[in-house]
Amino acid sequence: MKKISEQLGKLELGQGGEQTRNGTIRADEFLQEIKGKRAINKFREMRDNDSTIGAIMYATEQVLRDVDYYVEPAKDTAAGRKEAEFVETILKDMEHSLDDHIAEALSHLTFGFSLFEVVYKRRRGPKTDDPKSYSRYSDGRIGVRKLASRAQWTIESFDVNKTTGDVLGVKQEQNYGLKSTYIPASKLLHYRTTNTNNDPSGRSILRNAYTSYQYLKNFQSVEAIAVERELHGVPIGRIAAEYLSPDATADQVSVRSQMEKILRDLKFNEQGYALLPSDVYRDIDGKPTNQRIVDIELITSNGSRNIDINPIISRYQHDIARSVMAEFLMLGAGANGSYALSKSKTDLFLRSMESYINSIFDVLNKQLIEPLWHINGLNFDLMPKICAGDVAPHDLRELGSYLRNLNGANIDLSDQDDIVNALLANAELPPKKVAENGNSS
């Protein structure tokens, strides 16, 4: 028993992975092109350059910005409700809205993690001369001035405890050749998509779409070149044989070089043209013929292509959307699709949105509200929590069918005011009014 107690009392013996030792971004990634800070640049390129990924990220941001939130008191007492109101005032007293913060925090979906520095302030009221202490409230408590974003591409590395892998802080690059800045974890909000292997850089939701994106980008480039060649034709030049001979004179080599430049740069646009000499060959009698010494023509292909590239591009777009459960965005692009299929795919996407928004509020509760409670010396038994509302609208038709089934089973809920008000809230209707005598109206 003594040996067991000694073992239990020791520090952690193992570690989650390589990243818990050196703090490198995506240190455990086996593809070199998306390892370290190269991963940040690649995922940023995917988000900003690809229309399918851009649509997915825009839909995600707009859906989650519209989610309501509420502060749930730790206890249903006057003191508990007072502290819940304090948290509500903190969220409304920042230099930016909570919606704006959530929109920025969602960048952790693209990069795997997002970081914000918590900038505190003493709430000295609206009449203070110090803009850093300005507040609509003058209770003297420590509040939050702003949650300042720290862009992923400015993060050099995570500072981690080499024994436990816990994040101690981050090193951030500075502009104008200044030394890097160290931000301790106590000042940070650290969002990440997953805690797998205790990786502080998380895992981008675009990781599984990387291969499809690379192929899609290549095929789109091939398609653009093919269309250009198909419309313009392939330039073919004709020139006398002696100009192509290894024994060509310097003047002939110069003419050939000019001809090659014309063929290479020839484009069918508002600036495209070819200026050629009008000289023609002469026959044995010295008379001019119709055969030009230098000539250019465009050769175009005949018939249809053996490979239709559009289905290939469409397949990779579907793969990208499917990898983040947003394939419903592609419905209607083809001949197939149904309401049932659309609803099931949309419901799955919205369910993933619920997990995203709940993880954001979990971080706010753990890394923002809990430190504020400690700094202000407040009672942790009264510490409330921020909760997210519903992401997806309720299907009133299904809800109505369920209530009819309850009524058919002689289960009457009409006298349960809390249930009735919850049902009315689902339909975005005002709650029942309660008269002074306590009866509902």
Q: Which amino acid is located at 95 in the chain?
A: E
DSSP conformational letter for 177: T
- 394, two tokens: 């309720």
Q: Give the per-residue pLDDT at 26.
A: 79
Quickly count: other Cβ atoms within 10 Å of residue 407's Cβ.
12
The whole-number average pLDDT for the span 304-317 is 78
pLDDT tier for residue 348 given thresholds of 50, 70 and 90: confident
Percent of the chain with pLDDT over 90: 35
What DSSP assignment string belongs to 29-59? -S-GGGSTHHHHHHHHHHHHH-HHHHHHHHH
Q: Within 10 A of 21 (CB to CB), how many other CB atoms are there?
A: 15
Largest interatomic CA distance in the chain: 123
Helix (H) or strand (E) holding 345: helix 339-364
Indicate the burial class of 380 (C-beta count within 10 angstroms; 0-12, 13-18, 19 or more): exposed
Can you tell me the mean pLDDT for 56-79? 90
If pLDDT is split at 50, 70 and 90, which confidence band does 2 have? low
Q: Exposed, middle or buried, 56 (CB in 10 Å: 0-12/13-18/19+)?
A: buried
Q: What digits encode the pLDDT tens for the residues 129-174?
A: 888 889 999 999 999 999 999 999 999 989 988 777 788 999 998 8
CB 146 within 8 A of CB 96: yes
Q: How many CB atoms lie within 10 A of CB 293?
A: 16
- Predicted confidence at residue 339, as pLDDT, reads 52
Distance CA 341, CA 346 (A): 9
**257 to each of 195, 199, 261, 262, 298, how far by Cα in Å?**
60, 57, 6, 9, 19
Residue 66 DSSP label: T
Higher pLDDT, 195 or 306: 195
Q: Which of 284, 293, 299 is nearest to 259 (CA)?
A: 293
Is the pLDDT at 19 greater than 60? The verdict is no
pLDDT at 229: 67
Which of the given ranges, 81-90, 301-310, 343-352, 396-405, has the highest pLDDT on average? 81-90
Count H helices, E strands: the chain?
15, 12
Q: What is the mean pLDDT of residues 18-31?
A: 73
Sign of CA dihedral 323, 328, 330, 331: positive
Per-residue pLDDT tens digits for 261-287: 887 777 666 556 666 777 777 777 878
Structure tokens at 46: 């995917």
Residue 383: other Cβ atoms inside 10 A = 19
**431: Cα within 13 Å, side-chain hemisphere:** 11
- Look up tokens 């609206």; give the residue: 126
Q: How many CB atoms lie within 10 A of CB 112?
A: 26
Query: For 29-33, 91-95, 357-361, 380-384, which range has the lowest pLDDT when averaged over its residues?
Result: 29-33
Q: Is the dihedral of CA 371, 375, 376, 378 positive or negative?
A: positive
DSSP state of 30: S
